[in-house]
Amino acid sequence: MQNINTGDTAFILISAALVLFMTPGLALFYSGMVRSKNVLGTIMHSFIIIGIINVLWMLFGYSLAFGPDKFHLIGDLSWIGLRGVGAAPNTAYAPTIPHEAFMIFQAMFAIITPALITGAFAERMKFKSFLLFIIAWFVIVYIPVAHWVWGVGGWLRNLGVLDFAGGIVVHASSGAAALAAAIFVGKRKGFGTEPMIPHNIPLTIIGTGILWFGWFGFNAGSALASGALAANAFVTTQVAATAAVTSWMIVEWLKGGKPTTLGAATGAIAGLATITPAAGFVSPSAALLIGLAAGVICYYAISLKFKLGYDDSLDVVGVHGVGGILGTLSVGLLASTAINPAGANGLIHGNSSLIGIQALGVFAVVGFSFVASLVIFKVVDKLFGVRVEEEDEITGLDLSQHSEVGYDLSGLGGSAGGFVTANAFSAYPSEMPSVSGEAPLAPDNLP
C-alpha cells in the first residue's frame, strides 16, 4: 500500500463527488427548459438514474467495463460485486490511488451519461419504459463503449483512440442515443405548432453553474492524479467554457437579434462538452480555439432539428453529440505530447494519423449507440409502449407519472401547476397520516 499517494487520492475522491453533483445539476438544467407541468418528471429522469446505475455499477457494471478483457470488446465478471476492488491500486488505470477510488470516480461517469440522453425524450416518455430503456442502454451500450475506449484491452484504446474524459464515451455516445430517441419516440404533441417555452430559465442557470463546477472534477479528475496534467485539464476546461459562452453569444446576437440567457448557458455546456475529450491533451491556447468553435458550431447544430423535423426536446444531439464529436476530432488536430506524454501529437504537431483514428473511434461509437438505442426502443415499445397516453401528456408527467406537482404558487394544493389564480379555493388532504413523526405540512386553510 506504499504506492498510494494521499494527495492523489484526496483529489480523485473530491473529483468523484464533483462529478456526482453534475447529475442533479443536469436535472435542474433540463427541468428549467420544459413546461412547468413536466418539471418533476424531468428532474426525476436524471435523479433516479443516480440510484439505479450506481447499484448496477457496483454489482456488475464496473467489472464488465473495466475488468479483465474478453475479445477486446468487454470486461469479464471477475470483479463482480466489487470483488477484489479494494485498497490496492490498479496499476494499469491509476497506480497511485486505491482501486476503489478509481471505481467510484468511474461510477459517476456511468451515472451522468444515460442521464444526458433524457433531454431528447423529455415531456413524453412513460416512466416505466424510461427505466427499462436506461438500464438496457447502460448494459448494452455504455459498458461496452467504456471498455472499448478506456478499458485495458479495449479495441479502440488499442488502436490509439484518445478520449481524455469522455468526449466519445459520454457525449458522443449519449448524443447518438438521443438522436435515436428523438426519432423513435416522436415529437411532443404540438411540437412546431404550440409554444413550448422554457418555464424557468433561472433553474437552468443554476443547473449550468452546478454542471460547470462539477466539470472540473470530470476533466481535471480524469488525470487520475493531482499534478500538472490535472492543472492543464482544469485550465483548458475553463478556457473552452468561457470561449464558448462568448462565441455563442456573439453568433446569436449577430444572427438572432438578441443575446439570450439560455443561449449563454447553452454555450457554456457546449464548450464544456467539446473540451472534454481534449482537456488533458491540448494546450490552453488550443482550448480557446476549441471553445470558440464549439459555441459557433453547436449554435448551428441545435437548429438542425427544426430543419430535419425531429424533436430533440432539450438539444442533446446538438450540444452533447455534436460537441463530443467536435472535441474528439479536435484532439486529432491539436493534441500535443508536450502537454501529455502519454497521449499523441495531432495534425498541427506533424502527426497526420491521429485524426483518422479519432474519426474511426467516433464513427464506431456513434453508429453502435444509435443502432443499439433504436433496437432497445423497439423492444421497450413492444413491451410497454414508450410514450405516455395523450391525455397524460396534456396533463403533464408530474401528475400523470408521479402524482406530484412542482409548483403551488396559489397555495391551494398543486393543481394550479404554475397558475396564479385570483379565486382562492381550498384544497385539503383527503387522508392525513395519523401516525406521529413527520407529518406533511397541511395547507393553512385546512378546515
Partner 1 sequence: MKKIEAIIKPFKLDEVKDSLSSIGINGLTVSEVQGFGRQKGHTEVYRGAEYTVDFVPKVKLEILVDDGLASQVVDTIMDAAKTGKIGDGKIFILTVDDAIRIRTGEHGDDAI
Partner 2 sequence: MKKIEAIIKPFKLDDVKNALSKVGVQGLTAYEVKGFGRQKGHTEVYRGAEYRVDFVPKVKLEIMVDDDLASQVVDTILNSARTGKIGDGKIFVFPAEDVIRIRTGERGKDAI
Footprint of partner 1 (CB under 8 A) = 194-195, 394, 399, 403-405, 410, 412-417, 419-423, 425, 427-433, 438-440
Considering only residues 331 through 360, tell me which ones interact with partner 2, judged by CB under 8 A: none
C-alpha cell at 438: 413527520
**Residue 257 or 440: which CB sits closer to partner 1?**
440
* 198, interface contact from partner 1, partner 2, none, CB < 5-8 Å by kind: partner 2
C-alpha cell at 286: 488550443
Cα gap 92→98, rounded to integer Å: 12
CB of 203 to partner 2, least distance (A): 14
Q: Which stretch binds partner 2 (CB under 8 A): 87-95, 250-258, 345-353, 374-382?
A: 250-258
DSSP annotation string for 139-165: IIIIHHHHHHHHSTT-HHHHHT---SS
Cα gap 270→290, rounded to integer Å: 10
**Residue 47 or 191: which CB sits closer to partner 2?**
191
* 285, interface contact from partner 2, partner 1, none, CB < 5-8 Å by kind: none
Closest-CA residue to 364 (of 165, 141, 181, 178): 141
Among 152, 262, 288, 347, binds partner 2 (CB under 8 A): 262
* 262, interface contact from partner 2, partner 1, none, CB < 5-8 Å by kind: partner 2
Among 143, 224, 233, 302, binds partner 2 (CB under 8 A): 302
Angstrom CA distances, 223 to 11, 21, 126, 243, 362, stand at 10, 19, 39, 22, 21
Angstrom CA distances, 352 to 227, 287, 342, stand at 29, 20, 17
* 425, interface contact from partner 2, partner 1, none, CB < 5-8 Å by kind: partner 1
Angstrom CA distances, 397 to 31, 405, 416, stand at 12, 9, 15
CB of 256 to partner 2, least distance (A): 6
Among 95, 198, 209, 227, binds partner 2 (CB under 8 A): 198
CB of 313 to partner 1, least distance (A): 18
* 52, interface contact from partner 2, partner 1, none, CB < 5-8 Å by kind: none
Cα gap 296→5, rounded to integer Å: 41
Considering only residues 18 through 47, tell me which ones interact with partner 2, judged by CB under 8 A: 33
**Residue 230 or 298: which CB sits closer to partner 2?**
298
CB of 76 to partner 1, least distance (A): 43
Considering only residues 370 through 409, tell me which ones interact with partner 2, judged by CB under 8 A: none
Element (H, E) at 398: helix 397-402
- Told to check if 195 binds partner 2 by CB under 8 A, we report yes
**Residue 392 or 408: which CB sits closer to partner 2?**
408
CB 4 within 8 A of CB 98: yes
Cα gap 439→157, rounded to integer Å: 54
- Told to check if 308 binds partner 2 by CB under 8 A, we report no
Rg (CA), the chain: 22
For 27, other C-beta atoms within 10 Å of its C-beta total 26
CB of 444 to partner 1, least distance (A): 14
Closest-CA residue to 325 (of 115, 179, 434): 179
Eight-state DSSP code of residue 422:
S
The conformational region for residue 268 under phi > 0 = left, psi -120 to 50 = alpha, else beta, is alpha
CB of 120 to partner 1, least distance (A): 23
* 301, interface contact from partner 1, partner 2, none, CB < 5-8 Å by kind: none
- Told to check if 315 binds partner 2 by CB under 8 A, we report yes
CB of 122 to partner 2, least distance (A): 14
Beta-carbon contacts of 95 under 8 Å, excluding residues fewer than 6 positions away, are 3, 89
CB of 196 to partner 2, least distance (A): 8
- Told to check if 424 binds partner 2 by CB under 8 A, we report no
Cα gap 188→122, rounded to integer Å: 9
Q: Is the dihedral of CA 120, 125, 128, 129 positive or negative?
A: negative
Residues in contact with partner 2 by CB under 8 A are 33, 195, 197-198, 252, 256-258, 260, 262-263, 266, 299, 302-303, 306, 315, 420, 422
